């Protein structure tokens, strides 16, 4: 099937953020802090102002002058006034005639910092897990704690307690398109075109940072050259808007890839202690303790700790549990989302641990999981009812693949299985408008396609399935935030699952309205013939145009709106000791089987083949599902094997480029067998579940389990690099 966005992407006409240009445009550049933590003693912009081509240089004082309505110090100033919290934090910005001039001027800004002690990582705060009742470090910005059942009894009665410590690394989204936007400020309209997953999120976030009302900010999305979580909320937009306001000219701001690495908001490292009580061949209780590096995230702004910690307990029935996590502020850039934020890492820990228990028991790891994996009707750890959940079915299919692959498994090869549980973002709301006219159907909204196909394909498939129109009759119309219906954004695998519900409702309303014109009680459907929309009602077929008034025809047809704002599920707060935990919205995930070969001399791991069983509810577009699985699996292999941001003790990132931060290349991508699990209905249209994130989730765990299967050594740290395997094999 041909994607509707193929042509503009194959002939160079698709305009991405980096491609934005405007008459009279200036280039912006950010001035980046030269140390990881320090008090600002002096910020001298005068040298930069004297540089060739410079139109404006702005720091905190200039921002204050530009935004007189701002009252006092805001929680999130555009530029820090007194203290730099992480290396490469933007402290000022420059606009100049050319990009090179802007960058040269940014380098000419003089900044003096009085060094302050830095917190490089979580272990410098808690080398050991703090004793019960110990005072909590002031560096903790989030603390979550929940428990249920008689943990002490389960641990006391256990045949053994399996206890391990795991570590995971920071990973970067590495969208190939760097962040880029172009801003223009005319009178009271702060307008920015930008490559974003969340036009409305940018508006909301920029309004907060700039201290101006949302209605005065207009955001228009461009084509997005990859997001993976890295292009949500605002990032460059407030700076570009400020430079445009300061100069009265359009200003383009674009990062280099080096800057993407240096100041990007990424997944940060964790340390996890996990202990499981085992009795009569099953896991009875679990205790997990998470230390999460939150970077320079602000207190109260941490979304990750209470969201991800539940994944450390696994999708398994337990008699008792305790989970406690600390989000710890360090002098790194703030933590940011990355395709199923931190969940591949949590699942690596949980599923490696579960796998090692099965191996310790001498039980087949898939069989072991099947004994207690959640099914519909079970209760989650925080006592939510489990909805339709295709993981058990995925495990059964995985079992068959393992048997098949075992038959001709070469020496030093191994097979690993893992379960990646996920909750999609169907709780996040959105609205859509759908218009149908004599020549086709149009979905009007503000989201832009980020590559997954969820907008250009997914939303269209929903409208096609509701109305009966073929794909050539359906198009997407993009509007800026002043005209588009509100939506939360393209993230959390929610586009089809949540925004799709709004599209579905709007399309159904349209059909109902058309049916009423015919005096029909039964809903009509639409058809397409010779480029014309036909209305089908029973035996009757007539042109839609005949049912429209001249005014409606002049407006291009009739329109209907749909909204979806999901009610979040309720958790049992009685199990919560402290902090915010997130309810799950949709029960999905994927099961993965990975075969690897391990070089016993070097420890190098080669992925040989992968099978993926995503719990999709229903397949709306097989080619797009396959694309998400293939992409997610290979991205997961990067997390599993090579990707690792390396910060030094001074907070300096040592590998801010593609040669030293290795993402998978073409020759390293193994063949992938894809077998979507259908029939376990999700919240989305026709029972669809999101598919963007689940496929990546079990991959690092499945790789680690395959390595353990191949050579009998367990690597407890991500990535499972050759060096770590070699250490596990006692080669080093």
Question: Of the candidates 260, 173, 265, 175, which has an alpha carbon nearest to the alpha carbon of residue 224?
Answer: 175
Extract the tokens encoding 276.
Answer: 């499981």
CA–CA dist 387, 375 (Å, integer): 8
In the bound complex, what is the minimum distance in angstroms from residue 630's beta carbon to other proteins? 4
Shortest distance in whole angstroms from residue 452 CB to other proteins: 6
Residue with Cβ nearer other proteins (576 or 663): 663
CB neighbourhood size of 112 (10 A):
12
Please say whether the beta carbons of 80 and 32 come within 8 A.
Answer: no
Nearer to other proteins, 99 or 216 (CB): 99
Of residues 136 and 646, the one with the C-beta less far from other proteins:
646
Nearest approach in angstroms of CB 690 to other proteins is 16
Q: Are 287 and 278 in contact (CB under 8 A)?
A: no
586 vs 621 by CB, closer to other proteins: 621
Both tokens of residue 695?
């496929």
Nearest to 326 by CA among 270, 268, 274: 270
Q: CB 48 → other proteins: shortest distance, Å?
A: 22
- Least distance CB 215 / other proteins (angstroms): 31
Choose between 623 and 732: whose C-beta lies nearer to other proteins. 623
Q: How far is the CB of 389 from other proteins (least distance, A)?
A: 25
Find the shortest distance in angstroms from Cβ 85 to other proteins.
27
Cβ closest to other proteins, residue 6 vs residue 578: 6
Q: Nearer Cβ to other proteins, position 80 or 199?
A: 199
- Which residues have CB under 8 Å from 725's CB, separation 6+? 598, 603, 604, 605, 707, 711, 713, 715
Burial class (CB in 10 A: 0-12, 13-18, 19+), 368: buried
CA neighbor of 461 nearest in space, from 488, 434, 496:
496
- Applying CB under 8 A, which residues contact other proteins? 1-3, 5-16, 18-19, 21, 174-178, 223-228, 256-257, 449-453, 623, 626-627, 630-635, 657-659, 663-667, 669, 671-672
H-assigned helices in 412-471: 460-467
Residue with Cβ nearer other proteins (25 or 118):
25
* Residue 2 Cβ vs other proteins, minimum distance, rounded to whole Å: 6
Least distance from other proteins to the Cβ atom of residue 367, Å: 30
Cβ distance to other proteins smaller for residue 317 or 448: 448
| Smaller CB separation from other proteins, 20 or 366 | 20
Tokens of 732: 């080093």
Q: What is the 3-state composition of the chain as percent helix, strand, coil, each rounded to the nearest 5?
A: 30, 30, 40
Closest to other proteins by CB, 43 vs 697, is 697
d(CA 491, CA 627): 16
The least distance separating other proteins from the CB of residue 180, rounded to whole angstroms, comes to 9
| Pair of tokens at residue 280 | 């009569």
| Cβ 591 to other proteins shortest distance, Å | 18
Outline where 596-687 has alpha helix (H): 622-641
Q: How far is the CB of 79 from other proteins (least distance, A)?
A: 26
For residue 289, give every residue at least 6 positions away whose Cβ sits within 8 Å of its Cβ, in sequence order, or none: 129, 272, 273, 274, 323, 324, 325
Determine the Cα–Cα distance for residues 311 and 316; give it in Å rounded to an integer: 10
From residue 122, alpha-carbon distances to 87, 238, 294, 557 in Å are: 17, 30, 9, 58
* CB burial readout 317-353, b (16+ within 10 A) else e: bbbbbbbbbbbbbbbbbbbbbbbbbbbbbbbbbbbbb
Residues in the chain: 732
* Radius of gyration from C-alpha coordinates of the chain: 27
- Listed residue (451, 378, 351) closest to 706, CA to CA: 351
Nearer to other proteins, 598 or 624 (CB): 624
Angle between helices 237-247 and 199-210 (to 10 degrees): 60
Residue 208 near residue 255, CB atoms below 8 Å: no
Asked whether the bond before 719 is cis by omega within 30 degrees of 0, the reply is yes
Check if the beta carbon of residue 329 is closer than 8 Å to that of residue 139.
Answer: yes
Structure tokens belonging to residue 459: 């939303």
Of 461 and 505, nearer to other proteins (C-beta) is 461
In the bound complex, what is the minimum distance in angstroms from residue 453's beta carbon to other proteins?
A: 7
Q: Which is nearer to other proteins, 414 or 636 (CB)?
A: 636
How far apart, in Å, are the Cα atoms of 446 and each of 443, 478, 497? 10, 5, 17
Which residue's CB is nearer to other proteins, number 260 or number 350? 260
Least Å from the CB of residue 15 to other proteins: 7
Q: Nearest approach, Cβ of 439 to other proteins (angstroms)?
A: 24
Q: Which residue has the tokens 């702005």?
A: 58
- Which residue is associated with the tokens 């690993």? 416
């Amino acid at each position: 099937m041909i994607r509707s966005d193929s042509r503009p992407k194959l002939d160079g006409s698709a305009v991405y953020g980096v491609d934005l240009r405007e008459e009279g445009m200036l280039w912006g550049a950010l001035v980046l802090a030269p140390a990881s933590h320090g008090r600002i003693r002096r910020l001298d912009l005068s040298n930069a102002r004297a540089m060739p081509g410079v139109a404006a240089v702005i720091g905190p004082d200039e921002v204050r002058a530009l935004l007189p309505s701002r009252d006092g110090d805001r929680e999130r100033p555009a530029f820090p006034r007194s203290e730099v919290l992480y290396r490469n934090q933007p402290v000022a910005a420059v606009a100049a005639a050319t990009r090179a001039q802007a960058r040269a001027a940014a380098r000419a800004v003089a900044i003096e910092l009085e060094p302050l002690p830095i917190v490089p990582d979580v272990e410098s705060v808690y080398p050991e897990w703090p004793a019960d009742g110990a005072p909590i470090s002031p560096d903790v910005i989030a603390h979550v704690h929940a428990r249920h059942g008689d943990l002490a009894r389960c641990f006391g009665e256990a045949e053994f307690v399996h206890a391990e410590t795991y570590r995971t690394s920071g990973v970067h989204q590495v969208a190939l398109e760097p962040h880029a936007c172009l801003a223009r400020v005319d009178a009271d309209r702060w307008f920015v075109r930008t490559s974003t997953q969340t036009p409305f999120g940018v508006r909301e976030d920029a309004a907060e940072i700039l201290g101006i009302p949302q209605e005065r900010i207009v955001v228009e999305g461009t084509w997005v050259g990859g997001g993976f979580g890295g292009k949500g909320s605002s990032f460059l937009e407030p700076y570009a808007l400020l430079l445009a306001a300061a100069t009265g000219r359009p200003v383009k701001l674009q990062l280099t890839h080096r800057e993407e690495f240096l100041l990007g908001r990424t997944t940060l490292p964790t340390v996890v202690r996990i202990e499981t009580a085992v009795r009569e061949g099953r896991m009875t209780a679990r205790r997990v303790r998470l230390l999460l590096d939150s970077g320079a995230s602000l207190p109260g702004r941490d979304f990750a700790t209470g969201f991800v910690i539940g994944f450390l307990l696994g999708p398994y029935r337990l008699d008792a549990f305790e989970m406690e996590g600390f989000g710890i502020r360090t002098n790194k850039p703030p933590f940011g989302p990355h395709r199923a934020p931190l969940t591949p890492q949590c699942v690596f820990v949980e599923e490696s641990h579960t796998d090692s228990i099965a191996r310790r028991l001498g039980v087949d790891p898939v069989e072991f999981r099947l004994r207690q994996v959640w099914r519909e009707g079970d209760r989650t750890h925080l006592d939510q009812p489990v909805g339709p959940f295709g993981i058990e079915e995925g495990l059964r299919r995985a079992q068959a693949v393992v048997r098949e692959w075992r038959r001709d498994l070469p020496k030093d090869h191994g097979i690993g299985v893992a379960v990646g549980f996920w909750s999609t973002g169907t709780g996040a709301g959105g609205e859509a408008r759908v218009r149908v006219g004599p020549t086709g159907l149009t979905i009007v909204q503000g989201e832009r396609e980020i590559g997954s196909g969820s907008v250009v394909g997914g939303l269209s498939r929903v409208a096609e399935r509701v109305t009966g129109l073929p794909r050539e009759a359906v198009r997407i119309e993009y509007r800026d935030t002043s005209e588009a219906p509100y939506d939360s954004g393209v993230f959390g695998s929610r586009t089809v699952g949540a925004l799709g519900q709004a599209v579905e409702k709007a399309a159904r309303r349209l059909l109902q309205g058309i049916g009423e014109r015919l005096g029909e009680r039964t809903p009509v459907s639409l058809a397409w013939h010779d480029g014309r929309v036909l209305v089908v009602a029973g035996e009757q077929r007539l042109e839609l145009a005949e049912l429209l008034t001249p005014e409606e025809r002049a407006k291009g047809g009739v329109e209907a709106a749909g909204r979806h704002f999901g009610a979040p599920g309720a958790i049992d707060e009685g199990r919560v000791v402290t902090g915010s935990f997130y309810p799950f919205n949709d029960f999905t995930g994927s099961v993965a089987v990975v075969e690897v070969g391990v070089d016993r001399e070097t420890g190098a791991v080669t992925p040989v083949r992968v099978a993926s069983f995503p719990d999709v509810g229903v397949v709306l577009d097989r080619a797009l599902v396959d694309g998400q699985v293939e992409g997610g699996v290979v991205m997961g292999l990067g997390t599993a094997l090579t990707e690792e941001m390396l910060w030094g003790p001074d907070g300096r990132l040592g590998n801010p480029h593609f040669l030293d931060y290795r993402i998978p290349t073409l020759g390293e991508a193994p063949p992938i067998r894809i077998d979507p699990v259908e029939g376990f209905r999700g919240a989305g249209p026709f029972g669809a579940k999101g598919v963007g994130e689940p496929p990546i989730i079990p991959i690092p765990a499945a790789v680690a389990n395959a390595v353990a299967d191949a050579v009998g050594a367990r690597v407890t740290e991500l990535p499972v690099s050759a060096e770590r395997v070699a250490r596990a094999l006692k080669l080093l």
